[in-house]
Structure 1
Amino acid sequence: MTTANTTGPALLTDGFRAEATIDLAALRGNLASLRERTGGPALMAVVKADAYGHGAVQCAREAVAAGVTWLGTATPEEALALRAAGIGPDQARVLCWLWTPGGPWEQALRAELDVSVSGQWAMDELLAAVRATGISARVHLKADTGLGRNGCQPHDWPELVARARRAETEGLLKVVGIWSHFAAADEPGHPSVQAQLDSFAAALAQAEGGGLRPEVRHIANSPATLLLPQSHYDLVRTGLAMYGVSPVPEVGSPADFGLRPVMALTTRLALVKSVPGGHGVSYGHHYTTPGETTLGLVPVGYADGIPRHASSAGPVLVGGKWRTVAGRVAMDQFVVDLGGDTPEAGEEVLLFGNGERGEPTAEDWALAAGTIAYEIVTRIGSRVPRRYLGASWGQRP
């Protein structure tokens, strides 16, 4: 992995087969835009899944340097890795929410993490860790307001609230947060949105009636941050949006929301060759050249995160022209039909970026693969190195 404190276009570094360029200045700009949009509520920078493929430690450091005081991860292991990288409790609160039985509760307490509890088994294990370490826990109780995933169902909520309050009075924990997650905030007008807002309000009222006084109440993810100001409460959790990708492409582009894509994925042509018409290309010969042409070999494939579902559809920019994947995406490579053009091996290939050079975006690849842009950026694999541009945290003494 390489790091650079430079600015400029996303050009491939010499010697690399492929790389993902991460524009940290764009990340800072996105955070500033999101904070301006939300106004009063605090902002949580969600860096789960290696910061949606952008690099969790680097993006977390940048967010903290930009004044963000909350970080979010899915797993406790992700949160502990941030602490191990030197992001201390004095710099940011870190919430981790996806726990499984036998998880590292004691390590989380020692690392001063905020933990989420959705049910009685988790409360059992957390309290056992509190008693073993002598460290009081900071807890966010999660209510299932309609997503049907993690979270406590309404009929079990009063019991969980009561137990949490008893543990508070014993000094074992402090309920610092009440939270939930939307099912369809990216679909304006979906009936579940208002139903979940109502359910969340009821959960909050029950928690308050049970004696809990949380520091933060939060339900807004990236789509809700952009579209539902009534959901902002005390804290918004911004994931995809902070990386400059629109979570609601049907409503607006990144630019429409004052956002700029942070990641660009670049490689080089590994081979250019002339072939006759009727020549089969890649596995299964799902593409056959319509006439004499030139083919370019692009040395990345589904092992690098290029979706196989984008076979015969994924767009790239070569020599200033859009080209399309010819045939199947293979494990390590795919082919583009260059239409008779003869660039040299080593010519830059831009798979996606911010679009300012005319290249495709992550959303273009999502459309080609029949998926969402979340998946495009998070699936870029570990053998693609990340290069970081404009890291303000690297410029500090």
Structure 2
Amino acid sequence: MLEKLDTIPWNELQHAYGSAADIPDNIRDLMSSDKEIRKKALSTLYSNIFHQGTRYNATPYAIPFLFELIANENTEDRHKLIYYVIHLGLGYEYSYLLEGINPSQINAELKDAHENMSEEEIQNNEDYGYSYLALLDCYNFVEDRIPILQKIIENTPKNDNHKDRKLINAAIYALSWFAEKGQESIELIKNQIPVLKHETDIANCILAIGLLSKNTKPKVDISFLEYYLDSQSLLLQTSAAISLITSPLTNQILEILIQAITSDEELKKISEIPFNEGNINGYASEILSNYTQTKKEEQKTLIALSQTIGKMNTYQAIGTTSSILTILNKNRTIPIKDTHINDLKENEIIALKAIANSKGWGVGDMIFTNFSSLMRQAGLPDSKQKLLDYLGGNDDLR
């Protein structure tokens, strides 16, 4: 294993800190029997060839060797390596959560970005080890190795073993982003459902099928998921509703997602489900806010989001706030940032008050800058007190 690792001219490649000559040792350390060495190696790889989401010309060269480790049953923490190669292939995949990834589109966009650069821009990027062609290689190198993950799903025992479950869930999650092999992946995932023993594992399959189906060509019939819309489990109902959502909305899917948003059932953090980091409540909020069309749907969703944001912690509140702002800015002749306080409707004021009184602003004296930035981008007051003052009638405090 890793026999060809030293054949790569790593010292001629770059990562965030310069020469990539240290990458072979980082990758070999992932095979260590010492848990702390493995942990440090993966942390180092996250910081050098995936530095804050940036990928470099060394990044694609690491991918085949990481898959060698993933394919080997004796490798520890294989599920962690699967999540890592997803990041290497896609960047931060969460930005694609609503509609998945269109393979031809992502390839075309990266090629166009490269072709539209001047020679000076290309050289400047290369000086820092960055190129759009490297990003294209990252995507394609992971996509080419999807059969390895399919084989893992087929061959790993379906039981109560936590290690096996984590591995299968990670592999299924990975498949959901690569639609080139969507037909066979959907069939494979579908066939796992009857033998899975845990509700969260089934929900993970349902969400993967739904996301993968959005970009699989020719289209795959996933109507078999409708069975779960009538489940006694809100988690399975919600997962099916997210996967089957269409525009216009059906009333059943609308009602299920509203229930998911407002329910006291714990859907905000399900660690076994990787989609949206296990925040299924937030996933339901985001997808519903983007799919509402009629005023009735928007109002119903806005009320639900306004009710639930008060139950959110600081991190969760930013997603719900984003969903509220999506609806507030829908179908407006004048954007909300340009709307006078006196021209806001009652349900819009209620929603903004809910945001003002949420925990999204931070904890104690610590300000959550991402939340303030989100409000500022929406053209709204970027502090709790300013927003409360604005809602009190002072329109100059934006």
Q: Do both share a fold (TM > 0.5)?
A: no
Quick check: which one's helix share is greater? 2
Q: TM-score, normalised on structure 1?
A: 0.25
**Larger relative CO (CA 8 A, sep 6+): 1 or 2?**
1
Q: TM-score, normalised on structure 2?
A: 0.25
Quick check: which one's strand share is greater? 1
